[in-house]
Amino acid sequence: MIKNDKPKRILVVDDDQTIRAFLRDYLESLGHQVETAQDGFEAIAKLELDIDLVFLDVRMPGMDGFEVTRWIRDNSQFKDIPVIMATGLNTPQDRIRAVEAGANDFITKPFDCTEIYTRTTSLLRMKEAHDALKSYKNELEGTVAKRTEALRRALDKMVDTQRRLREANLETIHRLVIAAEFKDMNTAAHIQRMSRFSAMLARKINLTPGEVESILYASPMHDIGKIGTPEEILLKPGKLSGDEWLEMKQHTLFGAQILENSSSELLHMGEIIAVSHHERWDGGGYPHGLAGEEIPLWGRICTIADVFDALASERPYKKAFTNEEALKILKEGSGKQFDPQLVDIFTNNMSEVIEIQNKISRFGNDK
Ligand SMILES: [Fe+2]
Ligand SMILES: [Fe+2]
């Protein structure tokens, strides 16, 4: 049966020429290729010949069989080669030493051919199974590495696409906001400051970093609906008439309409902010007259950020209030126009508010 298998290469190590010749003839008759060595040193050198099994004499001059076995087991390249030890001294001590040195099996001299056949066959099978497992493992590692690489590339591409999509989204929003500003005369600086005030408030009430970022980008959309408000109303220096005021209030609903039904989370948040940033805590706001926590949190946050910045900035119809004056108005409106808790948080973080004001000048440039 072995004769039909792929030839195996067996290294026969024995200082006795007669035994080497006998083993060579017999193993070759089984279909194996045989290399021979007359001592331990030659054996070690010949391990390089892609050996599948070592047939090793115990008693040899120089390096004995135990030493050769130990050397094989300690060598990472050869440690898996099976070793059969052949000894004339069939003592239990020898067997123990052979096992301790790392031999897989042993045969006693004089040799019995059946014994040689059965032991070499079973050890060669074991080696074959071991080799197959090793190459399967290597192949598997290669496949896994290749797939991991492909997955990584796909992920990189996905992240890149998402990033570009998000940038395109943000740019669209920015352009929309600018379009609304053209009519309103609101400066870019107002948008930048109020969005940062909003993000600061969101951070202080422990919203997630994702929500904080979203409010930073969604809050500039609060007045986007003013794109639908007639210019003569938007730019009117004096007080608005009743009808004009009604028209003005429409910007909340226009904004919501512009942004509604979007699958983008940011635009959806923008819609909520657009429609709720003029609601009042006491229910006296517009367009729906919601009160307290009925008003979406995003809207309540943006109201404070928006009103404070409007107060502290110069507008065509008014001079800028000082921060102290603006803060006083905010506090007076606490629980009336504004969510009282958010007013407290805003008031307690004036150093960050001032930092944002210092960073973004009236002309909209980051200093
Ligand atoms: Fe508004
Ligand atoms: Fe505003």
Phi, psi values for residue 245, rounded to 5°: -65, -40
Tens digits of per-residue pLDDT, 238-251? 889 999 999 999 99
Number of domains in the chain: 2
Distances (CA, A) of 83 to 13, 17, 36, 209, 317: 11, 20, 14, 63, 99
Residue 176 lies in a domain: no
Please state, for a pLDDT cut of 90, what percent of the chain lies above it.
Answer: 51
- Whether 363 has a pLDDT exceeding 70, the answer reads no
pLDDT at residue 90, as a whole number: 62
Residue 160 lies in a domain: no
- 206 and 301, same structural domain? yes
- Whether 175 has a pLDDT exceeding 50, the answer reads yes
- 349 and 201, same structural domain? yes
Domain boundary among 80, 107, 137: 137
- 218 and 96, same structural domain? no
Confidence band for 186, pLDDT divided at 50, 70 and 90: low
- 301 and 210, same structural domain? yes
Distances (CA, A) of 286 to 189, 253, 310, 340: 25, 10, 18, 19
Q: How far is the CA of 313 from the centre of ligand 1 (A)?
A: 15
Lowest-confidence region among 20-34, 86-100, 191-205: 86-100
- 214 and 117, same structural domain? no
Based on its alpha-carbon atoms, the radius of gyration of the chain, rounded to whole angstroms, reads 43
Nearest ligand to the C-alpha atom of residue 255: 1
pLDDT at residue 1, as a whole number: 40
Task: State which amino acid sits at residue 217.
Answer: Y
Residue 62 lies in a domain: yes
Tens digits of per-residue pLDDT, 273-328? 999 999 999 999 999 999 999 999 999 999 999 999 999 988 766 788 999 999 99
Q: How far is the CA of 64 from the centre of ligand 1 (A)?
A: 95
- 343 and 197, same structural domain? yes
Residue 178 lies in a domain: no
- CATH code assigned at 340: 1.10.3210.10
* Secondary structure (3-state) at 51: coil
Domain boundary among 114, 137, 160: 137
- 190 and 125, same structural domain? no
Q: Provide the domain limits for residue 224.
A: 185-359
Lowest-confidence region among 116-125, 326-335, 336-345: 116-125
- 209 and 81, same structural domain? no
Tens digits of per-residue pLDDT, 86-124? 877 666 777 788 888 899 888 888 888 888 999 899 899
pLDDT at residue 43, as a whole number: 92
Confidence band for 162, pLDDT divided at 50, 70 and 90: confident
- 120 and 245, same structural domain? no
pLDDT at residue 292, as a whole number: 97
Nearest ligand to the C-alpha atom of residue 309: 2
Q: How far is the CA of 326 from the centre of ligand 1 (A)?
A: 18
- 333 and 192, same structural domain? yes
- Alpha helix ranges (H) inside the chain: 17-29, 40-46, 65-74, 92-101, 113-184, 188-204, 209-218, 231-234, 242-259, 265-276, 297-312, 323-332, 340-348, 350-359
pLDDT at residue 188, as a whole number: 78
pLDDT at residue 347, as a whole number: 97
Q: How far is the CA of 133 from the centre of ligand 1 (A)?
A: 71
Residue 82 lies in a domain: yes
Nearest ligand to the C-alpha atom of residue 256: 1
pLDDT at residue 362, as a whole number: 53
Residue 114 lies in a domain: yes
Residue 180 lies in a domain: no
Beta bridge partners of 124: none
Residue 171 lies in a domain: no
Domain boundary among 117, 137, 157: 137
- 206 and 122, same structural domain? no
